[in-house]
Structure 1
Amino acid sequence: MIIERSTNWREDFFERFEQDGPWDSWTLYKMSYEIEKMNLIPEFSGLQAPKFLTNLQLLPHQVEAAQTVIEKMNGKAILADEVGLGKTIEAGLIMKEYMIRGLVKKALILVPASLQNQWVTELNVRFFIPAISYRKNTPIDHYDVVVMSMDTAKKSPHREKIYEQDYDMIIIDEAHKLKNHKTQIYEFVQSLKKKFCLLLTATPIQNDVFEIFYLVSLLKPGHLGNYEAFQSSFSATKNSLDGEKYLRELVNQVMVRNRRHDTGVEWTRRKVQTITVQFTEQEKEVYDMISELKSISSIFSSSFTMVTLLKEMCSSKEATFLTLNKMLQKCAQSEEKEYIEAIMEKLMNLEINAKAEKVIEIIEKAQDKVIIFTEYRATQAYLQWYLYTKGITSVLFNGKFSKSKRDWMKQLFRERAQVLIATESGGEGINLQFCHHVINYDLPWNPMKLEQRIGRVHRLGQEEDVHIYNLAIEQTIEQKILDLLSSKIDVFEKVVGDLDDILTRKA
C-alpha cells in the first residue's frame, strides 16, 4: 500500500464548506477523540494501567505498592509482601504501567521452573502482555517479554543470549534464592543491565541480616555501603540489633512490604500449635546410639552428618536407614561396621513411630483435608503407607514430579484424597486455599520455609481459619531447632517487620 499526502485538500475542503458536506461521521470522530484522550498521560503521578485491566480486580494495597515503586523507588524495588498477597499482581501492574508510558518494551522474568507457565498465563490473560515461555533454542531476540527459569538462564549458551539483549526491565520471582552472593545465579543477575528491576520474595531474610545486604546490592549497589562498612555497623544485628531502626529505614527505601492485617482485607486466623511428642523407649535407644556415632567412627565426626542423622531419626526409621546404609559402605574398620549394623538392626525392629501416630490423631480429629510437610522422600513414602493402613487416602507431592504430575496430584488432593504429603517443593508455587490444616512433620532450620509452607493455604481466597501443627520430639535435636527458629524470627522482625504466626509465641 502506497500512502501519499493529498495535494488538493484545500480545494476539497472549500467545496465541502460551500455545499455543506458531505462531512465524516460525528460518531466516529467522537470515538477517535476519546481513544486519543485515553492514551494521553497528563501527569506522571497516579497509575494509568488499572483502567485497561478489565480481567483483574486490583486490591488497594496492590495499587499502592505499584505506585510507590514507580514514584518513589524509580522502578528498582524488593516486593516483600507476605505470602499470598499478590506480589505477582503488583509486578505485572508495574510492568504494564511502564509499558503504557513507553518506558518498557523488552522485559525478562526469571522464575523457578515450576512457576514458568503460571507467570506466562498471568501476564497474557490478566495484563494483556504477550509473554512467552522460554524453551531450548527459543529465539529470544524475536520476543519482547520472555519468562525463563533461573536454572536455565544462568547456564551457557542461554546466559550469553541474554547478555546480548537490551532489557528495559528484569523481574525475579522467589528472589530469596539469590541470598548467597557466591552462587552462579547471583553473579549472573548481578551482571545483568537493570534499568528497572523487581525482586519478589516474602522472605528477604531467611537466616541472617547479611542476606538483605546482598539483595539490596543487586538493586542499588552501595545503598547499604560496602560489605566491610555494613559488617562493622550491623554485624551485631545477629544478636543485639543495636542499629535495627536505622537499618530498617535504609531497607524500607527499596522495599515494599504489606502484611495481611494491613491490607483492609478480612483474613481468617492462624491457629498455631507446637505439639511435643515423646519417643518410645525403643526409639530413644536408637536415637542415643546414633548420638554416640561421632565417638565411634571418624566418618561421623562431621557435624552436618550427625545433625542429618539425628533429624532423620526424628522423622522415620526409613530415612535413617538409607543414610546409615550409605555410610556403612565407607567404613573400613570392623568395629565401626558392627556398631552401625547394630543400629540398623534395631531400626528394622522398631514397630512404632511415635510421631506418625500423633499425625493420625490430628487427621482423625480434623475430619478435613490436611497437608503434611516432611523433608525426606523416604519418610514421605512411609507416611503414605502408614496412612493407607489406617484407611486414610493420600497423594504425594515432591520436586521429582513433572509439572503435569504435580498438577494431577493437586487435582487428586482436591477431589479425592484427604491428605497431601509434600516435601519442601510443596512449599513453593502451589495454591491450596481449599485446605485448612498444615502439619509440619519435620521442622526446617529456616523459619521462612515454615512461612512458605503455611502460605500455600493461608492466602487470598482462604475462607476458613488455618490450623498449623508443628511437631517436635522432646529431648532431641528438634527442641534445639525450635529455639533457633525463634531466634531467627526475632532477627527478621527487627530488620524487615512483623511476621505472622508460624510458631507458638513465647510468653
Structure 2
Amino acid sequence: MTIESTEIPAVGQRWLSETELEQGLGLITQVEGRLLSVFFPATDELRQYALAQAPLARYRLLPDDQGQHAEGWAFTVQQVEVRGGVYVYHGEREDDGNAVVVPEAQLAAQVATHHPLTRLMAGKADRLDMYRLRQRAQVHLKRWQQSPVAGLLGARAQLLPHQLYIAHSVADRFQPRVLLADEVGLGKTIEAGLILQRRLLTGRAQRVLIAVPDALCHQWLVELRRRFALAFSLFDSERCAEAQIDSDNVFETEQLVVIPQSLLDEANWFAQLLVAEFDTLIVDEAHRIAPATQRFSQLQQLCEAIASVLLLTATPEQAGLDGHFARLQLLDPDRFHSFAEFQQEQQDYQQLTKLATVLAREGAHKLLDRLLDHYGTGRLMFRNSRSHIGGFPERICLPVELQSSDDFAAKAQWLQQLLREHKQDKFVLICRSSLTVQELYDYLRVQHGIHAAVFHEGMTLLERDRAAEYFASPEDGCPILLCSEIGSEGRNFQFTHQLVLFDLPDHPELLEQRIGRLDRLGQRHAVQIHVPYTIDSRDAYLFEWYSAMQAFSAPNPVGAMLYDEFHQQLQPFLTGDYHDELGFAELVAATEERAQQLRARIEQGRDRLQELNAFRPQAAQAVITAIQSAAQTDELQDFMLEFWARFGVDYDELNAHSGWLRPTEQMRIQLPGLAEDGITVTFSRDYALDHEQVEFLSWDHPQVQHALEVLSQDSFGSTSVALMQNKGLAAGTWFVELTFSSQLVTSSDLVAHEFYPHHAMRVLLDSQGRELTARVNASAFDKQLQFIDKKQARALLQQLRPQIQQLITQAWQPAQQQQQQLLAQAQAKISAELGQQLQRLHELKQRNPAVRESEIEALQVRQQRLLSALEQPQLQLDSARIIVNMPQ
C-alpha cells in the first residue's frame, strides 16, 4: 500500500484525510474549478476542499498487499492497472481463490488507520517521548510474558514460601484438581487466589465459579478485590432473578462469579450452573458439605462438569477418613474408587514417613523428591500445619471480671481506662452488632474525648476504607477501631496486636475468625486478647466454655464439632433458663474432655509425609527469588509515571511510598479501577500490606496490564519524526527506524507467549537503503535524537513520502530473517522443556497413580499445537520513526 500526494484528483479515486484519519477512505465525487468534493462513507460525511490546499493523501495498494472489498471479502493484489486516473486492482479472493477485478471505488471505506504506514504517509507523527514509551512497553511486555512467575507478582500478601510453593506447583498444571488443606491461618484463600490470578493472567482460565458458605461471600469478594485486584460478581438468588430477565442463563452474563453455597439447593439456578461452561471451580469450606446429602450430590455434578477444581478445607479428616475419601473422589473418581484400597494405601504410606523425615533433615532433596513422588495423594492434596511452617505469634488471653449489673456501662468504663493506660498502642474492638459499635463510639467521644474509627456492615466499602486508613495512620490516626461482627469480615489488622472482644459470639468459628484478624502470619507481637465480662452474664458462661476448648490460647480446629455436639446443652445458660449451676460445670468438663479427644484424633491423622510434599523450602525459595527479580519496582514506577503523564492522569506524591492518582479532563483513555475522585496507589508491597486502602501496583495489576496493552496494540507512539544534530554526518541525511512485531496466533489456553512472547524486532535503514541494524546500537542512537514540532514533522513526511514507502517495503526481508531466528529458538525451547515435562510425567505415572492420563495427553497436544503455530507466525509493522540529521 502506498499513499501519494502528486497525482491529479479525479472522480472515483480514493484519498485519506491527513487531519482526520478516522474518516476512513474518502471517495472523490466531484472536481469543479478550484473545489474538490470528497465523500467519506465510513462517517457518511461530504467534505469540500480547496484544490490547491486539500489536506489529502492518495491511497494505493501495491502488488502482494491485501485489500478489503466493500462487501466484506478480502483479496490479494497481483496487478495494478490505471484507467482514467483510477486504479483497478487485479487479484485473488482470500476465501475461494477466484480471480477478481476491483476498481478502487469498490474498496471498503474502513482501512487500517492505526497502521503505522497509513499514519506516517498521512503526515501523522507522535511526540518523540510517546514513541519511546511505546518501545519501553514492548520490552516490559515481553519480559512479563516470559516470566515464570507472571501472575504471582501482584498479590497484596507477604512472600510466604509455603503459599508460593503450592501456587507455583498447581497453577501451571493442565486442568488442576487439588485439595488445599492447610491449617487455619496459613492462607488457603491466598493460595487459591495466587493460583487463580496466574491462570487468569496467562490465559489458562477465563470463566471462574467460586462457591462459598453464605456468611463468607462478602469476605471472599473483598479478599479477591483487595489482594488480587480481581473483580468478581456475587450471584445470590436476588441477583439471579434480576439477571434472568435479560438472559437465558444468568451465569453467562459475567466471567468471574461468586455464589453462596445455598444457591446449589435451588434447582433452577443449579441447572443453569451446570451448563454455564465455567472452566474453574473453587469451593471454600468443602468439609461443611457432608457426603450423602443433596448438596454434596449437587457439588459432585459441578465437579464433573468443570475441568479445574480447587477444594479448600482446613480439616480434611474432621468428618472421618470416609469423608476425606469422598472429597478426594470429587477430584478424581477413577483414581479413588475403593475406600478399602485407599485405607490400605494410607497405612502403607505411613511406613515411608521416617525415611522421608531423615532425607528432609539431611537435605537430600533429589532422593526426597523421588520418594514423595510415590505418595498417593501427593499431587491432589496440599496440607501444611502451623507447627511445620512456624512463624505464628503467641496468644495471651487477658480476661477481666467486672462487678456490675449494667453490662454495657461496666465494659465501656473499663475500655476507656484501658485506652488511657495504653496510649501508645492501637486496639481493635469487635462486637456482635453495629448498634453496640455506635453506642461505644458516642460514649468514648462525648464523655471522654477519645476519637475512634467505626467499621460495620451499614457502611459502604469506601467508608470502610477511610475508617481503616484513619485507624492505621501513625500520625493522624485514632487509638481504636470499633468493628461489628460482619463489618470486620475480610479485613486483617495484624499491624496491631491488641484485640478487645467486647462481647463473645455464639459460635467457636466466629471467635476464631475474630482472633484471626490479628493472629496471622506477619504478626510481629504476641496477640493480647482482652475479654471483659460481668459475673453471671452470658459472656461469663461463653468465656468459660471457650476456655475449656482452649479457643483463646491456640487455633481451634475442633470448635465447630464441639458446637454441634454441645450447643443445645449450652443454650439455657446463655438465656438464663438454667436451673442447676452444677450442670454447667459438667458441661465444661465434658467439653474439655471431648476437645482433647478430637485434637488427638486430628493429630494422629496428621500426615508428616503430606507436609513434606506440600512444602519444599528449596523450590519455594527459587520462586521467591524469581518474584523479587521480576518485580523491578523502580522500573515499574518510572514507566507508570511516564504513562500517566502522557495520557492525562495526575499523580501527586503523598509520601515516599504512595501517591494520589486522579483523572483529568485531558485523560486520553479509560483506566480500569480509576475512580472519578481518584485513588491512592503504591508500588511497595510492604506499604500496601500496612495500608489496605492503598492500591498495590505491580506488573500483574489490571491498570499496568492495560497500559502495556494500549502501548502495544493501539496506535499511540507508533509513528514519530526526530531530529539529529550529528556533525559527523551530512546535513539532510535521514534514516528510517522500524519496529516489527511478531506473535503466534493461537488460542489463549496454549499460553504460547511463555515460549514465543510478543517480539519487537528493530530494523534501521539509511536513505540509501543500507541496513544498519547490527552496526548502530539502538540506545546510543536514541540518545542523539531530539524533539521536533508537529508542523516540521508533517512537512518532512510530505517531502519524503515516496522514499519512505520504498524503504519500508525493503525492510520486511531483514525483519523476516530476525523472525526466523526467533522461531527456531522457540521451537528448540518447546521441544526441550515440554519434552522434559512429558518424560517426568510418564516416569511419575509409573510410581504414582494420581497422575492422570489426560494430563499427559494434554501436554502432548500442547506441544504439537505450539509447534504448528510456529509455522504461521504473524509479522506486522508496529512502529516507524524517521530521523533527519540537521546539525547546527
Q: Tell me which residue corresponds to 1:259.
A: 385
1:408 maps to a residue whose letter is S
Q: CA deviation at 1:168?
A: 0.8
1:432 maps to a residue whose letter is R
2:306 maps to a residue whose letter is K
Q: Tell me which residue corresponds to 2:201.
A: 100
Q: What are the superposed Cα offsets for residues 417-475 of structure 1, whole Å, 9 maximum, x if unpaired?
A: 6442432451575543276449561567x9x9922769xxxxxxxxxxxxxxxx98599
SS at the partner of 2:282? Answer: strand
Q: Tell me which residue corresponds to 1:489.
A: 602
Question: Are 1:420 and 2:439 counterparts?
Answer: no
Q: CA deviation at 1:191?
A: 0.5
Q: What are the superposed Cα offsets for residues 125-156 of structure 1, whole Å, 9 maximum, x if unpaired?
A: 33222211113224321001111111122322
Q: 2:183 aligns with which of 64, 75, 82?
A: 82
Question: Are 1:388 and 2:407 counterparts?
Answer: yes
Question: Are 1:173 and 2:173 counterparts?
Answer: no
Q: 1:408 to 1:14 in 2, by over 3 A?
A: closer
Q: What are the superposed Cα offsets for residues 252-272 of structure 1, whole Å, 9 maximum, x if unpaired?
A: 2212233335557x3223579
SS at the partner of 1:258? Answer: coil
SS at the partner of 1:176? Answer: helix
Asked if structure 2 preserves the Cα contact closer than 8 Å seen for 1:216 and 1:224, the reply is yes
SS at the partner of 2:210? Answer: strand
Q: CA deviation at 1:118?
A: 1.6
- Structure 1: which 5+ residue stretches go unaligned? 273-361, 368-383, 455-470, 499-507
Instruction: Give the Cα separation in 2 of the matches to 1:8 and 1:472.
Output: 95
Q: What are the superposed Cα offsets for residues 287-318 of structure 1, whole Å, 9 maximum, x if unpaired?
A: xxxxxxxxxxxxxxxxxxxxxxxxxxxxxxxx
Q: 1:162 to 1:427 in 2, by over 3 A?
A: farther
SS at the partner of 2:376? Answer: helix
Asked if structure 2 preserves the Cα contact closer than 8 Å seen for 1:175 and 1:200, the reply is yes
Question: Are 1:441 and 2:545 counterparts?
Answer: yes
Q: 2:328 aligns with which of 206, 210, 216?
A: 216
Asked if structure 1 preserves the Cα contact closer than 8 Å seen for 2:457 and 2:487, the reply is no
Asked if structure 1 preserves the Cα contact closer than 8 Å seen for 2:287 and 2:315, the reply is yes
Q: Tell me which residue corresponds to 2:350.
A: 244
5 Å-filtered alignment, 1:428-507, equals 430=514, 431-433=516-518, 436-437=528-529, 441=545, 450-451=556-557, 473=586, 477-478=590-591, 480-482=593-595, 484-494=597-607
Instruction: Give the Cα separation in 2 of the matches to 1:152 and 1:472.
Output: 41
Q: CA deviation at 1:58?
A: 4.0
Q: 1:205 aligns with which of 283, 308, 317?
A: 317
5 Å-filtered alignment, 1:227-376, equals 227-230=339-342, 233=344, 241=347, 244-245=350-351, 249-260=375-386, 262-263=388-389, 266-269=391-394, 363-364=399-400
Instruction: Give the Cα separation in 2 of the matches to 1:124 and 1:260.
Output: 27
Q: Which shifted more, 417-426 or 21-30?
A: 21-30
Q: What are the superposed Cα offsets for residues 160-196 of structure 1, whole Å, 9 maximum, x if unpaired?
A: 1211200010001111113x32112211111012211
Q: 2:163 aligns with which of 32, 38, 62?
A: 62
Question: Are 1:144 and 2:248 counterparts?
Answer: no
Q: 1:451 to 1:228 in 2, by over 3 A?
A: closer
Q: 1:476 to 1:60 in 2, by over 3 A?
A: closer
TM-score by length of 2: 0.35
Q: CA deviation at 1:388?
A: 3.4
Q: 1:62 to 1:164 in 2, by over 3 A?
A: same
Q: Which shifted more, 154-163 or 425-434?
A: 425-434
Relative to its length, the structure with more helix (as a share) is: 1
2:556 maps to a residue whose letter is L
Asked if structure 1 preserves the Cα contact closer than 8 Å seen for 2:509 and 2:559, the reply is no
2:484 maps to a residue whose letter is W
2:602 maps to a residue whose letter is I
Question: Are 1:188 and 2:188 counterparts?
Answer: no
Asked if structure 1 preserves the Cα contact closer than 8 Å seen for 2:512 and 2:555, the reply is no
Asked if structure 1 preserves the Cα contact closer than 8 Å seen for 2:291 and 2:326, the reply is yes
2:380 maps to a residue whose letter is V
1:189 maps to a residue whose letter is L
Q: 1:14 to 1:436 in 2, by over 3 A?
A: closer
Q: Which shifted more, 115-124 or 386-395?
A: 386-395
1:441 maps to a residue whose letter is W
SS at the partner of 1:197? Answer: strand
1:254 maps to a residue whose letter is L
Asked if structure 2 preserves the Cα contact closer than 8 Å seen for 1:472 and 1:479, the reply is no
Q: 1:476 to 1:61 in 2, by over 3 A?
A: closer
What is the root-mean-square deviation of aligned Cα atoms in Å?
4.9
Instruction: Give the Cα separation in 2 of the matches to 1:417 and 1:475.
Output: 21
Asked if structure 2 preserves the Cα contact closer than 8 Å seen for 1:207 and 1:488, the reply is no
Asked if structure 1 preserves the Cα contact closer than 8 Å seen for 2:558 and 2:595, the reply is no
Instruction: Give the Cα separation in 2 of the matches to 1:194 and 1:245.
Output: 36
Asked if structure 2 preserves the Cα contact closer than 8 Å seen for 1:426 and 1:453, the reply is no
Asked if structure 2 preserves the Cα contact closer than 8 Å seen for 1:133 and 1:147, the reply is yes
Instruction: Give the Cα separation in 2 of the matches to 1:423 and 1:387.
Output: 24
Asked if structure 1 preserves the Cα contact closer than 8 Å seen for 2:179 and 2:381, the reply is yes
Q: 1:387 to 1:423 in 2, by over 3 A?
A: farther
Asked if structure 2 preserves the Cα contact closer than 8 Å seen for 1:170 and 1:196, the reply is yes
2:275 maps to a residue whose letter is E
Q: CA deviation at 1:223?
A: 2.7
SS at the partner of 1:451? Answer: coil
Asked if structure 2 preserves the Cα contact closer than 8 Å seen for 1:78 and 1:254, the reply is yes
Asked if structure 1 preserves the Cα contact closer than 8 Å seen for 2:505 and 2:511, the reply is no
Q: Tell me which residue corresponds to 2:150.
A: 48
Q: CA deviation at 1:111?
A: 0.5
Q: Tell me which residue corresponds to 2:441.
A: none
1:32 maps to a residue whose letter is R
Q: 1:44 to 1:243 in 2, by over 3 A?
A: same
Asked if structure 1 preserves the Cα contact closer than 8 Å seen for 2:432 and 2:503, the reply is no
SS at the partner of 2:399? Answer: helix
SS at the partner of 2:323? Answer: helix
Relative to its length, the structure with more strand (as a share) is: 2
Q: CA deviation at 1:224?
A: 3.4
Asked if structure 1 preserves the Cα contact closer than 8 Å seen for 2:209 and 2:258, the reply is yes
SS at the partner of 1:157? Answer: helix
Instruction: Give the Cα separation in 2 of the matches to 1:252 and 1:104.
Output: 23
Q: CA deviation at 1:242?
A: 6.0
Q: CA deviation at 1:206?
A: 0.6
Instruction: Give the Cα separation in 2 of the matches to 1:15 and 1:271.
Output: 69
Instruction: Give the Cα separation in 1 of the matches to 2:156 and 2:588.
Output: 54
% identity of equivalent residues: 22
Question: Are 1:408 and 2:484 counterparts?
Answer: yes
Instruction: Give the Cα separation in 1 of the matches to 2:144 and 2:322.
Output: 42
Q: CA deviation at 1:201?
A: 1.4
2:504 maps to a residue whose letter is L
Q: Tell me which residue corresponds to 2:705.
A: none
TM-score by length of 1: 0.57
Q: CA deviation at 1:74?
A: 4.8
Asked if structure 1 preserves the Cα contact closer than 8 Å seen for 2:155 and 2:194, the reply is no
Instruction: Give the Cα separation in 1 of the matches to 2:59 and 2:332.
Output: 56
Instruction: Give the Cα separation in 2 of the matches to 1:480 and 1:416.
Output: 28
Q: Which shifted more, 156-165 or 246-255?
A: 246-255
Instruction: Give the Cα separation in 1 of the matches to 2:606 and 2:24.
Output: 64
Q: CA deviation at 1:116?
A: 0.5
Asked if structure 2 preserves the Cα contact closer than 8 Å seen for 1:110 and 1:171, the reply is yes
Q: Tell me which residue corresponds to 2:814.
A: none
